[in-house]
């Protein structure tokens, strides 16, 4: 384990700290302007898609697996688990966003999925080239991104109601 950590580039640790700080910020209840509120979900979906691209390339099998998982989780998440305490204050153009530990957990899960893949790739693990692995990891990225897509959908719906 120490060998893996010692061969990890410094920028990965900086990214980890930045994501950790950003995730911890999500634990506080806050008023957030419209654009910054939408940046987190968009950024996490983009990071997930970047994970697909860097792992497998933007090929049909991983993209379809990722997209299906994202759409399913976003749809179910919005319909069933959306935070109804989120509101939009039109005069101030800010969202009231209750604090939650869930974004931190999902952010870290995306980071560690990408990190574990990178370690497996560096170790030339043959399993990463199998169809089952490609579909599974792509779906994991999609599932995690689906959480943020549902969150963005909730924000957009609040905007439309205002």
DSSP 88: E
CA distance 64 to 53: 13
In this model, does residue 45 exceed pLDDT 80? yes
**In which domain, by residue range, is 34 found?**
2-51+58-161
User: Tell me: the pLDDT tens digits for 31-41?
Assistant: 999 999 999 89
In this model, does residue 3 exceed pLDDT 90? no
Give me the number of domains the chain comprises.
Answer: 1
User: Tell me: the pLDDT tens digits for 52-107?
Assistant: 998 999 999 999 999 999 999 999 999 998 889 999 999 999 999 999 999 999 99
> Comparing 11-15, 36-40, 72-76, 131-135, which segment has the lowest mean pLDDT?
36-40
In this model, does residue 162 exceed pLDDT 80? no
21: number of Cβ within 10 Å = 10
CA distance 107 to 121: 21
Whose CA is closest to 142, among 57, 61, 76, 48?
Answer: 48
Percent of the chain with pLDDT over 70: 100
């Amino acid at each position: 384990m120490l060998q893996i950590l010692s061969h990890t580039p410094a920028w990965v640790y900086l990214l980890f700290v930045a994501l950790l700080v950003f995730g911890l910020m999500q634990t506080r209840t806050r008023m957030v302007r419209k654009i910054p509120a939408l940046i987190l979900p968009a950024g996490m979906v983009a990071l997930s898609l970047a994970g697909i691209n860097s792992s497998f390339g933007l090929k049909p099998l991983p993209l379809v697996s990722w997209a299906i998982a994202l759409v399913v989780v976003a749809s179910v998440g919005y319909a069933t688990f959306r935070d109804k305490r989120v509101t939009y204050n039109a005069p101030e153009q800010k969202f009231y966003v209750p604090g939650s530990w869930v974004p931190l957990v999902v952010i870290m899960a995306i980071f560690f999925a990408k990190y574990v893949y990178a370690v497996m790739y560096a170790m030339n693990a043959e399993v990463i080239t199998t169809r089952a692995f490609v579909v599974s990891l792509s779906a994991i990225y999609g599932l995690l991104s689906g959480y943020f897509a549902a969150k963005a959908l909730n924000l957009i719906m609040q905007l439309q109601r205002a």
